[in-house]
Amino acid sequence: MKDLGQRIDFHIHSIFSDGNLLPAAIAREAEVKGHSAIAITDHVDASNLEQVLEGLTKFVKLQGKSIPIKVIPGVEISYLRPDIIEEYAKKARKLGAKIIIVHGESPVEPVILGTNHTAVRLKGLVDILAHPGNNLTLEDAKVAALNGIYLELSSRKGHLTGNKHVAEIARAAGAKLLVNTDSHDEKDLLTQEGALQIALDAGLTEEEAIRVIKDNPQELLKRFQ
Ligand SMILES: [Zn+2]
Ligand SMILES: [Zn+2]
């Protein structure tokens, strides 16, 4: 068996948006499933941005040291019109979001068209375009690659129907992929073996899949040291 390394998941929801668990429970469940790091990235809009980041940054600051895995506080900018995504990403950063994800144009949950196009152009602000779906264009994937924005293969029901397209376009564009779970409770979390399967099911070769679940997350993690 090849060494798959430790699991890192950059897309998880807590009770601060529509997840079922408190951050401490997510961290423990992830630890048990072999994670070395997680990002908690709750859905935000104008109504809850402050509360989400107050809660997540407080958790990491006060409790982070007593937890054996690294927890990164972040947000998933969800359903905002493309023309205000940048403004909210900047606000999130100011309020302590270490990682910023944009909810992409998944086959399910129809965010506004143009969200993918906008997100990949926010260099240094957006880290991951989540589940960009079958709308992902080669041009946008090339921009993501240039701007160091990772594209996501999702294990979440519905979102994962876009994975084959995303993998194919990312390969053609030289864009980097991650496998994230978009977990809303502990049953959604994956082991490295499960993540490998998602990458293989998306049509990646074994070598590509291992890079996606092992090397790419390690590389992205360096941004948050
Ligand atoms: Zn959600
Ligand atoms: Zn999500």
- Mean pLDDT (the chain) is 97
Who surrounds ion ligand 1 at CB < 5 A? 13, 18
Ligand 1 midpoint to CA 19 (Å): 7
Q: Please, are residues 72 and 44 in contact by the beta-carbon 8 Å criterion?
A: no
Give pLDDT tens digits for 174-199: 999 999 999 999 999 999 999 999 99
Which ligand neighbours the alpha carbon of 11 most closely? 2
Ligand 1 midpoint to CA 185 (Å): 10
Residue that has been written with the tokens 């493309």 in this structure: 82
Which ligand neighbours the alpha carbon of 40 most closely? 2
* pTM exceeding the 0.75 threshold for the entire prediction: yes
Q: Which two tokens stand for residue 182?
A: 């978009």
Ligand 1 midpoint to CA 106 (Å): 12
Give pLDDT tens digits for 6-24: 999 999 999 999 999 999 9
Chain length of the chain: 225
Give pLDDT tens digits for 57-83: 999 999 999 999 999 999 999 999 999
Report which of 76, 84, 165, 168 is spatially closest to residue 127, judged by C-alpha positions: 76
Residue 110 is predicted with a pLDDT of: 85
Q: Which two tokens stand for residue 109?
A: 């949950």
